[in-house]
Structure 1
Amino acid sequence: MRKGMKDVARLAGVSVGTVSHVLNHPELVTPETTERVRQAMQELGYVRNEPARQLARRGHSDLIAVVLPTSDDPFLSGVVRGAQQAAARHGLEVMVTSSEHDVEREQRQLDSLEQRRVRGVLLSPAVDASLQGVRALQQRGTPLVLVGPVFGRHRFCSVSIDERSGGRQIGVHLAESGHSRVLYAGAPLSAHHVSERYEGLIETLAGADVRAADVSGWEPGGGLPAVASLLAAPARRRPTAVVCATDLIALEVLSECARLGLEVPRQIAVVGYDDLPFTRSGVVSLSTVSQPQLEMGRRATELLLLEETEGHRHEKLVLQPQLVIRATSRRPARAVRPARDGDAKVEAGRS
């Protein structure tokens, strides 16, 4: 059982008030009494309840909560690091929870965080759904900032990325390289940020055959059947480029290309999204869209703290992504060796 201040006071032979003075105002206590109280704390294994002390002094804790839709997204881990950096500058700590794309679970977590009197919440919503429950939290006085994909009209501070711009940048790059058949692999296609990237892509590839494949439910190493069947098609029908909604999907596509014996980028170009660390290696060197994850976390935290100021007005910050062209898409599509009849037969045999 956890020991409290009463236990320390009893063992040291002093009042609870004296124990409190030792913790908070040691100058009011004699050195002898202070030493006796600290020895009692050590013997009992007493640990100060810091959140409770903060609540008593200021009405809220020194915790900022980050609520994510999933716990295994490398992109969101960068956002968390940015939030931690900004929070540390203000003497605050960050705690992270995950809704696992469950709206009801997300609401329970928000209710629990409100009861703990957190300083504020950075929320990446579980799904593209109503934010009614979040509005109630805000109205009761808990500052909240939306982070990541932001959809619909809302009255919150938010920090998002211009997803359509990222898709457009990829489209321009592929169009300039002469690609005429492009496959977009996303999961799920109905998600706001996934569909926005696709819309930007088709805006700039108006003259190309662009199709989309929903790869929802895929797992690393498990393959992408919806993509594999198209890659195994005869050369004259096979996509000349595959654009992926994430770098991890792109890594799976590269594995599938290797399995089929397709040379990247001579026979097919591959572009990812997120610019995760592995994409910069000499082995992979993946063309991808870099997103300012750290800046997102830092800016969102600063907005959260500004919400406490009088006369604060909600801000909607939209950050810009940047296409990074690397080895997997650098060679123009016109350099691809034209398909011969023999090639078509070999490819067809693989399908």
Structure 2
Amino acid sequence: MKGEVPMSGQPKRVGVSDVAKRADVSIGTVSNYLNYPDRVSDTLKAKIKAAIDELGYVPRQSKASQQRAVSNGLIGYVMTDIEHSLFTDIFEGIQEVCEDNDMQVIGANASSDAVRQSELVQMFVRIGCSGIILSTVMDSANDVDAARAAGVRIVLVDHAAPMSDVPTSCILEDNQMVGQMAVEELVRGGCTRLAFVAHSFDYQSVQDRYAGVRRAVERYRGTVSLELIDAHGLMVEDGYEVGRELVRRIQDGREIPDGVVAASDHLGIGVIRALSDDGHLRVPDDVCVIGCEGVRISHTAPVEMTTIDAPGADIGRKAMIELLDAIENPAAYVSSVTMLQPRLHRRSSTR
């Protein structure tokens, strides 16, 4: 399910994402229908055409060509951390839509530094980008205000709208659903003592995943327990220390969780490595482990880790389409929040 929440009474312009939803196909398939019809089967063409006719969608090609006469066709993308594959997946989705519209995207890495993030936004404003897509480190009201004050449209990804009077479009994964899906997967496998392993609750995604975990556990009140474990970081080595602590607990005769929800995949991989290195506890026989991101290193653990995968490329496509709408139709631009749903990727670390 995908929800879009208008924040004013103004009507929202029908976009490619609306056509995709009505036709029950991906945004990329609609883009191919409009730009490379030979790549789309006759069956899907019929479904997409019916959706276009029903919604009254008007392709933006003519408007885009007019816009490019006064635009340099350059988009800036500020990513939180280039080492995290979610943000490179988002980049690929942005790039796909840019190529379909004869535009170019420049990606820049904020390295999880809020000051650097602001500097990069200002740089993209100075070089005259037509728009900016911002994967924000923290609440970004100042960056949104600065871009819009300079007449540059901005769309946020992986973060909800900051406290700002400026209309802002936000595209993000439903991270509360991530937490709920992780709990359901563990409970399905027979786990009853769960732990949420996390750090950096300043990150909105971590907050939301924890909220989803708590909500799901509440439904099993009396039969499923929940422990919060602070890993003091989000990297593999931090998860490794958590795994070692679980081993120490079992050696001391103390109870341990039989299901671990790792706020980051790196944490989950660290937990699995520690348990595998020691040998006292087996994954998934004694402890099941599930990650919340679906990063590209998830398969590198000694036991391949089950993950809840983020729809990174779809986030990027949707963000770029929203940005095009904002650039081409500034008077009709309204604040909105689009939630894209995660997907379960079951591997060997859960039962």
TM-score by structure 1 length? 0.71
Q: Which amino acid aligns with 2:200?
A: P
Residue by residue over 1:83-118, the C-alpha shift from the partner in whole angstroms, topping out at 9 and shown as x without a partner, is 111111111111111222333322222122111111
For the 8 Å contact 1:165–1:321, the answer to whether it is kept is yes
Q: Which amino acid aligns with 2:316?
A: G
Tell me the distance in 2 between the aligned counterparts of 1:266 and 1:280.
18
Instruction: Say whether 1:329 aligns with 2:350.
Output: yes
Tell me the distance in 2 between the aligned counterparts of 1:202 and 1:229.
23
Tell me the distance in 1 between the aligned counterparts of 2:313 and 2:187.
31
Tell me the distance in 1 between the aligned counterparts of 2:285 and 2:304.
15
Aligned to 1:135: 145
Instruction: Say whether 1:253 aligns with 2:254.
Output: no
Aligned to 1:15: none
Tell me the distance in 1 between the aligned counterparts of 2:168 and 2:69.
24
Q: Which runs of 5+ in 1 are unaligned?
A: 1-56, 331-351
Report the Cα offset of residue 161 of structure 1.
1.0
Tell me the distance in 1 between the aligned counterparts of 2:300 and 2:146.
46
* Equivalent of 1:313 in 330, 333, 337: 333
Q: Which amino acid aligns with 1:142?
A: V
* Equivalent of 1:70 in 68, 72, 81: 81
Aligned to 1:300: 319
User: Structure 1 320/70 Cα, relative in aligned 2: closer, same or farther at 3 Å?
Assistant: same
Report the Cα offset of residue 61 of structure 1.
2.3
* Equivalent of 1:213 in 206, 229, 248: 229
Report the Cα offset of residue 171 of structure 1.
1.4
Report the Cα offset of residue 317 of structure 1.
1.2
Tell me the distance in 1 between the aligned counterparts of 2:226 and 2:161.
25
Which range moved further: 157-166 or 204-213?
Answer: 204-213
Aligned to 1:166: 178
Q: Which runs of 5+ in 2 are unaligned?
A: 1-67
Map of 1:1-351 to 2, 5 A cutoff?
58-127=69-138, 129-150=139-160, 152-154=162-164, 155-206=167-218, 207=221, 208-217=224-233, 219-221=235-237, 224-234=240-250, 237-261=255-279, 262-279=281-298, 284-310=303-329, 311-314=331-334, 315-330=336-351
For the 8 Å contact 1:265–1:328, the answer to whether it is kept is yes
User: Structure 1 184/281 Cα, relative in aligned 2: closer, same or farther at 3 Å?
Assistant: same
Residue by residue over 1:299-343, the C-alpha shift from the partner in whole angstroms, topping out at 9 and shown as x without a partner, is 10111111122342333211111223322112xxxxxxxxxxxxx
Tell me the distance in 2 between the aligned counterparts of 1:197 and 1:116.
37
How many equivalent residue pairs?
273
Q: Which amino acid aligns with 1:257?
A: L
Tell me the distance in 1 between the aligned counterparts of 2:267 and 2:108.
25
Tell me the distance in 1 between the aligned counterparts of 2:78 and 2:350.
35
Aligned to 1:53: none
Tell me the distance in 1 between the aligned counterparts of 2:339 and 2:109.
24
Sequence identity, in percent?
22
Tell me the distance in 2 between the aligned counterparts of 1:98 and 1:63.
17
For the 8 Å contact 1:188–1:214, the answer to whether it is kept is no
Which stretches of structure 1, 4 residues or more, deviate above 6 A after TM superposition? none
Tell me the distance in 1 between the aligned counterparts of 2:181 and 2:345.
10
For the 8 Å contact 1:287–1:327, the answer to whether it is kept is yes
For the 8 Å contact 1:69–1:126, the answer to whether it is kept is yes
CA RMSD of aligned residues (A): 2.4
Structure with more relative contact order (C-alpha pairs < 8 Å, separation 6 or more): 2
Q: Which amino acid aligns with 1:228?
A: R
